[in-house]
């Protein structure tokens, strides 16, 4: 097999194996040339010979992307895989280094794609950080890291750096830059969110001043507890614009041995896709650069997917949101047009452009207050009015019980989930969020989170994330000192957002088992469960620790609300 000389683009193909080597400067053109060589009628392997591959936004492909739970918009894509089938990209341990506002991978309308054996990082991260030097009730003083440059213009601070203001956002370099900053304190030595902290949102960028070069003062009334001197303050000044890998309308996608050290949105986001595997992947800061944050949002997120989602042997740490989220979408009814037709909307602004249903799909109507099903229907036709509004026509007449404000949920997107042998933690917020009626197995994992380790919810009034679970097994996991922050009630939080006045005799979730897990904990808020029919809690071990200060608790052991058929060997209240 021939190996190309350094600096040569793509000009060799044998048995559908294509090899490239890194070039000096931008590698986007040479990789694009390689993709053009892929045949339509047979499987192919694209091998990146080991090395450093740099990618800039200047010549990246520009596409408008609706990405659920991320920011919609015109994006620059380094590696767009569109309508490709049976392709493996093997990085051979290479480093993919990104400069500026460019998204690494988009997989759209593809089948049989494998990405493996490479890492992803950015020269300039999408957050800034510095060491806390002084704190009082009116301000925080921070010594900024040198890799996070900034300047002042128009009476406020702006953050800059390697290609940070290049193309990739609309209407010039300052488009969509908030006039507010969001701050979060990290424990410098533990490299995790600091004990007891909460988000400090919407701090005016105009309230920042410079004391001397590299030393800034943030005038703000910081929420208690006040930040600690020598801890690290992370400042978010961007949107969820630059995902790592987006899987859209695709099937049979495997990502193996891929290390993502930083992204400007979610590291892995999949929507309307079938059968996805994340195997031995890492989302965590590079161990040698001192950064506190890996992905700007979730490590992995799956919206309206089906088939089997496998997350095996992965390590997801230091994200600004959760390691895993699997859910569907509740779409509120905003108008009843006639006896067969309704108008519905995407309930959350980050669901823009995501279809609410498909022709021939079975739909469940859900009461917005109780979250319980009230009717079913079969879709005859779907018409997009705009990116938030959809006209849905049904085969049969609408049930008379349907009201505006109720939601629809498509039942064609119900994945099974297997999460096994993973390490999750040190991130803002929680562990995995699970909302699917498929079979869910969470086994042999290690959790260490500021909030709840596992959250099973569902809501029709905020993020509009469906749906009710039917078969969840949580077994042989270690829950290691979870709950040292403000995100969640209980190490395990089963908390569908049902208004108290609508908690009734019928439960929202069903058949959840927590068996033979180990809880290493400095507090006793173990499991909170609301509206579950069939809850089994047996054989779990509890070890009291002193690794964090004791905190005020609202319950001990197990607390239930409106649950049926509970079998538990924990103390309950």
Q: Coil, strand, or helix at residue 273?
A: coil
Specify the pTM: 0.95
Only one residue has tokens 């949102």, namely 201
Report how far apart, in Å, the C-alpha atoms of 344 and of each of 328, 357, 435, 485, 572 are.
15, 10, 21, 37, 41
Which DSSP string corresponds to 361-372?
Answer: -EEEEE-TTT--
Neighbour tally for 479: CB within 10 Å: 27
Kindly report the length of the chain.
Answer: 573
Both tokens of 272, joined, read 């309307």
Question: DSSP per residue over 499-563, as a string?
Answer: -GGG--SS-SEEEEEEES-EEEESS-EEEEEESEEEEEEES-EEEE--SS-----S-SEEEEES-
Residues linked to residue 473 through DSSP beta bridges, in sequence order: 441, 513
- The rounded Cα 99 to chain-centroid distance in angstroms is 22
Q: For every one of its 573 residues, what pLDDT tens digit does the chain have, with 9 covering 90 and above?
A: 233 433 344 434 456 999 999 999 999 999 999 999 998 888 999 999 999 999 999 999 999 999 999 999 999 999 999 999 999 999 999 999 999 999 999 999 999 999 999 999 999 999 999 999 999 999 999 999 999 999 998 899 999 988 876 544 444 444 445 678 999 999 999 999 999 998 998 889 999 999 999 999 999 988 888 999 999 999 999 889 999 999 999 999 999 999 999 999 999 999 999 999 999 999 999 999 999 999 999 999 999 999 999 999 999 999 999 999 999 999 999 999 999 999 999 999 999 999 999 999 999 999 999 999 999 999 999 999 999 999 999 999 999 999 999 999 999 999 999 999 999 999 999 999 999 999 999 999 999 999 999 999 999 988 999 989 999 999 999 999 999 999 999 999 999 999 888 998 899 999 999 999 999 999 999 999 999 999 999 999 999 999 999 888 889 999 999 999 999 999 887
CA distance 31 to 198: 43
Q: Are 419 and 311 in contact (CB under 8 A)?
A: yes
SS3 32: helix
């Amino acid at each position: 097999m021939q190996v190309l000389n350094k600096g040569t683009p793509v000009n060799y193909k044998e048995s559908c194996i294509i090899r490239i080597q890194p070039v000096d400067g931008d590698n986007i053109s040479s990789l694009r040339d390689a993709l053009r060589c892929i045949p339509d009628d047979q499987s192919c392997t694209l091998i990146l010979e080991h090395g450093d591959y740099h990618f800039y936004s200047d010549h990246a492909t520009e596409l408008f992307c609706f990405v659920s739970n991320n920011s919609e918009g015109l994006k620059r894509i380094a590696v767009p895989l569109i309508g490709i089938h049976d392709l493996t990209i093997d990085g051979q341990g290479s480093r993919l280094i990104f400069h500026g506002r460019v998204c690494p991978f988009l997989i759209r309308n593809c089948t049989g794609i494998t990405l493996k054996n490479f890492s992803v990082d950015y020269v300039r991260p999408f957050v800034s950080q510095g060491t806390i030097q002084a704190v009082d009730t009116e301000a925080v003083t921070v010594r900024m890291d040198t890799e996070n440059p900034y300047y002042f213009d128009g009476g406020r601070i702006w953050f800059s750096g390697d290609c940070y203001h290049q193309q990739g956002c609309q209407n010039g370099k300052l488009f969509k830059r908030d006039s507010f900053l969001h701050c979060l304190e990290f424990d410098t030595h533990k490299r995790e969110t600091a004990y007891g902290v909460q988000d400090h949102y919407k701090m005016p960028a105009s309230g920042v001043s410079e004391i001397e070069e590299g030393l800034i003062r943030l005038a703000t009334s910081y929420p208690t507890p006040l930040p600690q001197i020598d801890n690290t303050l992370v400042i978010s000044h961007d949107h969820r614009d630059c995902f790592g890998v987006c899987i859209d309308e695709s099937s049979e996608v495997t990502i193996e041995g891929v290390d993502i050290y930083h992204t400007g949105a979610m590291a892995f986001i999949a929507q309307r896709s079938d059968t996805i595997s994340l195997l031995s992947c890492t989302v965590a800061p590079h161990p040698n650069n001192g950064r506190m944050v890996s992905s700007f949002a979730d490590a992995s997120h799956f919206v309206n997917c089906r088939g089997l989602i496998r997350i095996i042997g992965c390590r997801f740490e230091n994200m600004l949101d959760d390691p895993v989220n699997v859910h569907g979408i509740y779409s509120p009814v905003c108008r009843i047009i006639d006896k067969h037709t309704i108008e519905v909307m995407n309930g959350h602004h980050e669901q823009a452009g995501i279809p609410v249903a498909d022709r021939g799909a079975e739909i469940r109507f859900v009461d917005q207050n109780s979250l319980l099903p009230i009717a079913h229907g079969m879709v005859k036709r779907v018409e997009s009015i705009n990116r938030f509004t959809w006209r849905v026509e049904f085969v049969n007449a609408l049930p008379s019980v349907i009201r505006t404000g109720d939601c629809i949920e498509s039942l064609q997107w119900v994945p099974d989930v297997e999460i096994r042998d993973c390490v999750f933690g040190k991130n803002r917020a929680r562990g995995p969020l699970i909302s699917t009626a498929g079979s869910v197995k969470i086994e042999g994992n290690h959790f260490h989170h500021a909030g709840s380790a596992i959250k099973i919810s569902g809501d029709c009034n905020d993020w509009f994330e469906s749906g009710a679970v039917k078969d969840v097994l949580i077994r042989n996991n270690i829950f290691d000192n979870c709950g040292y922050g403000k995100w969640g009630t209980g190490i395990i939080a089963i908390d569908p957002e049902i208004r108290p006045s609508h908690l009734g005799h019928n439960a929202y979730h069903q058949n959840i088992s927590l068996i033979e897990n180990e809880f290493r904990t400095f507090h006793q808020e173990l499991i909170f469960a609301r509206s579950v029919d069939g809850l089994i809690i047996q054989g779990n071990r509890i070890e009291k620790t002193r690794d964090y200060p004791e905190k005020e608790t609202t319950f001990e052991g197990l607390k239930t609300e409106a649950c049926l058929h509970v079998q538990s060997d924990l103390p309950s209240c």
